[in-house]
Amino acid sequence: MTKRILSGVQPSGKLHLGNYFGAVKQHIELQHEAECFYFIANYHALTTIQDARLLAENTRDVALDYLALGLDPDKATFYRQSDVPEVAELTWVLSTVTNMGLLERAVSYKEKIEKGIEASVGLFTYPVLMAADILIVRSHFVPVGKDQVQHLEMTADIAGKFNRAYGVVFPEPQPLIPKAEIQAKVPGIDGQKMSKSYGNTIDIFAEGKPLEKTVMSIKTDSTPMGQPLDPDNCNVFALYSLFAAEDEKNALAADYRAGKIGYGHAKKMLKAKIDAHFGPFRDKRRELAQDPVTLEGILQAGAKKARAEAEMTMDLVRKATGLK
């Protein structure tokens, strides 16, 4: 049996280093190991974005980012969520076997409400839509971080409830946990976890003066130049370590402890690493951005492949439930 993997990315803003090291990099590596379905979750984004131009722009940006960073549409099925309307149909069917109590326990829902996001029905039923995304192509594995495991457990619960009621249609998806080094928290410029909601990100495709300004604003302590620094408690060093080889990390750590380097120089070293890593990808992205017809063609071709699977799934669902 071919291992089938699914994951999605919400177009809620520009992708940043936390997205890259936490998800995108892994997605691109996995396309060589399994049958992969990756989608741009624009239905999900409607819970926070109600600006048509912005949503369309963000969706385009995510597509450009993934393709520029190495996603191969001949290896992975890449599509917009809204181009597979069977997802919305399956969401309704799954909602009829989903307990309210299950949704009320969703940690992400509680966190968003605490942050002041309006408690819409869409936000509350978000896990059902997520379950439909996963189950519509009958995927076996979903790459998730530790903070997302609950959503996948909810999907398995919903799939199990449907299967017990109507007969086995869906495999119960399993988490694909990233390697330990990928799970490490990517710090934002303020030291918290890098997140768009905290406004502390370094965009993947930032460059020039804007990138320099962001990197130079990374929060550090007030240790004066010439004094030893602690690499184990430094946001700059943590970010540098994501790009550097082991010998480079060891050398910088030694200079930190010996007081041979200040934070300003370390930040310049980090910017150089970011430029070296993403430079070739920037060129590819600029090239893709000049050809919107090809970009749209890639998304439409991916949607066609995803819909073929989705239609087979919904045929099974309709027969099992008596809708057909």
- Level-2 CATH architecture, domain 205-286: Orthogonal Bundle (1.10)
Q: Which of these is catalytic: 14, 75, 161, 193?
A: 193
Q: How far apart are CA 135 and CA 205, in angstroms?
A: 32
Q: Which run of H or of E encompasses 35?
A: strand 35-40
The first and second tokens of residue 134, run together, are 């996963």
3-class SS of residue 93: helix
Burial annotation 86-95 (CB, 10 A radius, 16+ → b, else e):
bbebbbebbe
196 is annotated as an active-site residue:
yes
193 is annotated as an active-site residue:
yes
> pLDDT tens track of the chain, all 324 residues?
578 999 999 998 899 999 999 899 999 999 999 999 999 999 999 988 999 999 999 999 999 999 999 999 999 999 999 999 999 999 999 999 999 999 988 887 787 778 777 788 998 999 999 999 999 999 999 998 777 788 899 999 999 999 999 999 999 999 987 665 444 579 999 999 998 878 999 999 999 999 999 999 999 999 999 999 999 999 999 999 999 999 999 999 999 999 999 999 999 999 999 999 999 999 999 999 999 999 999 999 999 999 999 999 999 999 999 998
Query: Would you kindly state where each structural domain of the chain is located, as residue ranges?
Result: 4-184+292-321, 205-286
CATH 1.20.1600.10 fits 4-184+292-321, yes or no: no
Q: How far apart are CA 57 and CA 45, in angstroms?
A: 12
